[in-house]
């Protein structure tokens, strides 16, 4: 891959440019937009499905964004994007928001995904070092947590351009700006500081976890928090992690097994179907079997379960009066040294 053109750059950070495959017979182009490289096999598909975040303006007042939200209406692509950003930005950064209600009020608590990662890292024990990757990083806070924990290079990857955009804005401005859903189409703009360690080498790319552009054994740590039930081929994820890991590296998986046909066909779910089978339809024993060499036909060689937590609390705030509460199964695994 070569950087074939730089169209906009600030302090060595390429904000707009084009990467091109260096193989003469290929020469596919991958754009860098707003600092985020889009490194997916189907660039055309991802761009055409992401026109809204790609072309969205960020200079409109919260009032005008609200007017547009009312006009676009519920279930519009605009409202879906705002709802998703509200969900994940609240969970990732709400602890830093001075306007969040205090814990004593009984209001839902942000930070559940970070708690899943922390539980997984504690189960993983000593880390070997080397770059870390957060698969399905969404709005990015766990990548910052990984940087603090490892002191090494951290990359967050996600297919959702709106989320990567928010993560990159936090990275480059040290501020979080998001619309927090109150009720229906009503959102309140929240703006507050997120102390970003300038020395931390964190970056965010648009990439598909099932088609990652990395050589094998590139990372010392792989995190996949609340991801496996969101991808088209859930059982492939342990193999993806095993390929990415250097010998002795660690992987953290966390999932509430909230299976949905919109993410993966039923046949691809890990449990959640076939109640007559020996596992009774349970997801947990199948997931642990996938991480135990020889325990299942799809078990991954070279990656071994080292610990699990049955249920870490993860709250996702939908609006002022509704919160989804998950108990997340967290597992840590280690690549053979
Ligand atoms: C349930 S969210 C979890 C986000 C974050 N890890 C957390 O725990 O807060 C799943 C994330 O995975 C992303 N995602 C889904 N399929 C993906 C894929 N094939 N490649 C990369 N990211 C994907 C979604 O865009 C979303 O941000």
β-bridge mates for residue 313, sequence order:
327
Atom of ligand 1 nearest to the CA of 208: 20
Atom of ligand 1 nearest to the CA of 231: 16
For ligand 1, the distance from its centroid to the CA atom of residue 258, given in whole angstroms, is 13
For a pocket test of ligand 1, which of 53, 230, 254 has the largest count of ligand atoms closer than 8 A to its C-beta? 230
Q: Output the tens digit of pLDDT for each of the chain's 337 residues.
A: 899 999 999 988 899 999 999 888 888 999 999 999 999 999 999 999 999 999 989 899 999 999 999 999 999 999 999 999 999 999 999 999 999 998 888 899 999 999 999 999 999 999 999 999 999 999 999 999 999 999 999 999 999 999 999 999 999 999 999 999 999 999 999 999 999 986 679 999 999 999 999 999 999 999 999 999 999 999 999 999 999 999 999 999 999 999 999 999 999 999 999 999 989 999 999 999 999 999 999 999 999 999 999 999 999 999 999 999 999 999 999 999 8
For ligand 1, the distance from its centroid to the CA atom of residue 11, given in whole angstroms, is 30
Atom of ligand 1 nearest to the CA of 138: 27
SS3 content of the chain, % helix, strand, coil (to 5): 30, 30, 40
- Which residue's CA is the closest to the ligand 1 atom numbered 27? 138
pLDDT score for 133: 98
Entry pTM: 0.96
For ligand 1, the distance from its centroid to the CA atom of residue 202, given in whole angstroms, is 18
CA distances (Å), origin 220, targets 79, 131, 157, 300: 38, 6, 16, 17
What CATH code would you report for 55-335? 3.40.50.150
Grouping H, G, I as helix, E, B as strand and the rest as coil, residue 303 is: strand
Asked if 251 and 245 touch (Cβ cutoff 8 Å), the reply is yes
pLDDT score for 197: 82
For ligand 1, the distance from its centroid to the CA atom of residue 24, given in whole angstroms, is 33
Domain segments of the chain as ranges: 2-33, 55-335
CA distances (Å), origin 131, targets 116, 152, 219, 241, 329: 20, 6, 5, 13, 25
β-bridge mates for residue 323, sequence order:
317
For ligand 1, the distance from its centroid to the CA atom of residue 208, given in whole angstroms, is 10
Q: What is the Rg, in whole angstroms, of the alpha carbon atoms belonging to the chain?
A: 20
Residues with CB under 6 A from ligand 1: 88, 91, 113, 136-138, 157-160, 163, 208-210, 225-227, 230-231
Asked if 288 and 305 touch (Cβ cutoff 8 Å), the reply is yes
What span, in angstroms and rounded, lies between the C-alpha atoms of 265 and 129?
A: 36
Atom of ligand 1 nearest to the CA of 254: 8
For a pocket test of ligand 1, which of 159, 268, 312 has the largest count of ligand atoms closer than 8 A to its C-beta? 159
pLDDT score for 12: 83
- Which residue's CA is the closest to the ligand 1 atom numbered 12? 136
- Which residue's CA is the closest to the ligand 1 atom numbered 4? 138
Q: Closest Cα to residue 166, out of 206, 125, 218, 216? A: 206
What span, in angstroms and rounded, lies between the C-alpha atoms of 254 and 332?
A: 9
- Which residue's CA is the closest to the ligand 1 atom numbered 14? 136
For ligand 1, the distance from its centroid to the CA atom of residue 211, given in whole angstroms, is 14
3-state secondary structure string across 138-202: CCCHHHHHHHHHHCCCEEEEECCHHHHHHHHHHHHHCEEEEEEEEECCEEEEEEEECCCCCCCCE
For ligand 1, the distance from its centroid to the CA atom of residue 229, given in whole angstroms, is 9
pLDDT digits (tens, 9 = 90+) for 86-137: 999 999 999 999 999 988 888 999 999 999 999 999 999 999 999 999 999 9
For ligand 1, the distance from its centroid to the CA atom of residue 25, given in whole angstroms, is 32
For ligand 1, the distance from its centroid to the CA atom of residue 329, given in whole angstroms, is 16
For a pocket test of ligand 1, which of 165, 210, 227 has the largest count of ligand atoms closer than 8 A to its C-beta? 227
């Amino acid at each position: 891959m070569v950087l074939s053109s730089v169209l906009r750059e600030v302090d060595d950070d390429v904000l707009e440019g084009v990467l091109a495959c260096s193989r003469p017979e290929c020469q596919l182009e991958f754009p860098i937009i707003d600092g985020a490289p889009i490194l997916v096999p189907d660039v055309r598909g991802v761009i055409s499905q992401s026109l809204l975040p790609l072309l969205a303006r960020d200079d409109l007042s919260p009032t005008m964004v609200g007017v547009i939200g009312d006009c676009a209406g519920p279930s519009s692509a605009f409202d879906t994007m705002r709802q998703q950003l509200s969900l994940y930005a609240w969970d990732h950064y709400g602890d830093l928001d001075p306007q969040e209600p205090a814990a004593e009020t009984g209001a839902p608590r942000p930070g559940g995904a970070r708690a899943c990662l922390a539980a997984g890292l504690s189960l993983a024990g000593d880390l070997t070092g080397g770059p870390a990757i957060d698969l399905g990083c969404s709005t990015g806070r766990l990548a910052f947590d990984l940087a603090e924990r490892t002191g090494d290079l951290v990359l967050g990857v996600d297919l959702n351009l709106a989320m990567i955009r928010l993560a990159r804005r936090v990275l480059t401005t040290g501020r979080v700006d998001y619309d927090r859903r109150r009720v229906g189409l009503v959102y309140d703009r929240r703006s507050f500081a997120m102390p970003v360690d300038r020395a931390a080498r964190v970056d965010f790319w648009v990439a598909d976890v099932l088609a990652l552009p990395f050589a094998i054994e590139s990372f010392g740590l792989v995190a996949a928090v609340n991801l496996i039930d969101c991808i088209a081929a859930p059982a492939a994820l342990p193999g993806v992690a095993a390929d990415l890991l250097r010998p002795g590296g660690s992987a953290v998986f966390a999932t509430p097994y909230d299976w949905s046909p919109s993410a993966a066909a039923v046949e691809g779910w890990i449990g959640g179907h076939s109640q007559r089978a020996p596992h009774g339809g349970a997801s947990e024993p199948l997931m642990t079997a996938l991480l135990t060499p020889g325990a299942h036909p799809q078990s991954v060689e070279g990656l071994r379960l080292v610990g699990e937590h049955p249920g870490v609390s993860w709250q996702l705030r939908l609006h002022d009066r509704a919160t989804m509460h998950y108990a997340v199964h967290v597992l840590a695994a280690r690549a053979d040294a």
